[in-house]
A = this chain, B = another copy of it.
């Protein structure tokens, strides 16, 4: 008998029929003899609808009240899920974030979990109940106010509960079968991975893969939680995300540990490139520029500086930011143009980023050569390059991303013989 934490996203509980399907899945897990704790998101578009209402009454909703408002979404889904399970003859009990002991700091809208004290969850488990916990929400001890965790919050709730309860596994359900070597919508013959290391998963998630949230994976790695990413729509095994030194539970050893050089290819069309042109090539100018950008709140990803043109003693500095951050960064830079002394700003949102991730890069050479060769053969121009210990990323024209991803996927020998099935919806 194991203790299993399961997380179901909004599209998995979008209506009464979906809730019944999820309830059946939970009950089946209980019937198999396991203790089950479930973290659940708000139904379908509930959160967006509540946000819309908030913006109808207040241009900038007070953060405390916005959290109070949004947290009602999971209360609805969790109560409905609990009563569904109850009506199937199983004891089920729902708990809000505060009832489940999800203690956070006081940053409304993006609170961080500081402690988990699941006393009531444990009591309910001891009494044989299936426990349903509201995802995405917590409670601050000092202000005694309700908080929300921000994007990916329900994944984090599930992993934090799994850690606090010392669960055997944390199953994150979505509408895809697991982690793939590439987004199947971009590379149709992407292959599902049986396992992936958490550091690879972090690099993939940070570079555009959308199955798991970085925050939840980080939390899992830090607290040694075994994540199993799998589909609500099938009973197939998904992908296990293994932390350092973590191995599969012995009943799962059948899922052979792969050690490929490259785990996957991630693509990201959500970035924009900003070029600060004609920057005086004197020490400290780059620092000046990125201090301005940081102050604007924009999140810089990649940076490239061209070689200075000898004649002018000026250089160009390019960087990428999320598309949604581009406007504030541009405004901040334009305001300080005279002081920094650059010539002009260029904004380009027709770019795409392609990243190749693999822990094997540490010990294998030639990994980057394969990437550059594949792109060159496909006739694709590289605009920027950046690398980490286990990742190589390139910025390309947005239009080239599909062709590039397929070429690179093939070049690293990742292609499967069949095409992956893509379900509708986003699974979040």
Contacts and interface: CB of A to CB of B under 8 A. Distances in A.
6 residue pairs, one from A and one from B, having the closest CB atoms: A69-B79, A58-B87, A16-B56, A68-B79, A65-B83, A62-B86
Interface stretch (A70-78, A363-371, A402-410): A70-78
Nearest to A52: B16
Nearest to A68: B79
Report how many copies the assembly holds.
2
Contacts of A96: 68
B94 A79 contact: no
Contacts of A53: 16, 76, 80
Interface of A: 16, 19-20, 23, 50, 53-54, 56-62, 64-66, 68-69, 71-73, 75-76, 78-80, 82-84, 86-87, 92-94, 96, 99, 120, 144
Contact of A20 (B57, B69, B75, B80): B57
A136 to B, nearest CB: 14
A54 B80 contact: yes
Nearest to A119: B144
A65 B50 contact: no
B69 A76 contact: yes
Contact of A76 (B50, B79, B80): B50
Given A53-B16, A94-B65, A144-B99, A58 B76 contact: no
A62 B76 contact: no
Given A62-B86, A68-B79, A68-B94, 4 more contacts: A50-B76, A61-B86, A62-B92, A65-B92
A93 B65 CA distance: 7
A64 B95 CA distance: 11
A93 B144 CA distance: 12
6 contacts: A61-B83, A62-B82, A68-B96, A72-B72, A99-B144, A120-B144
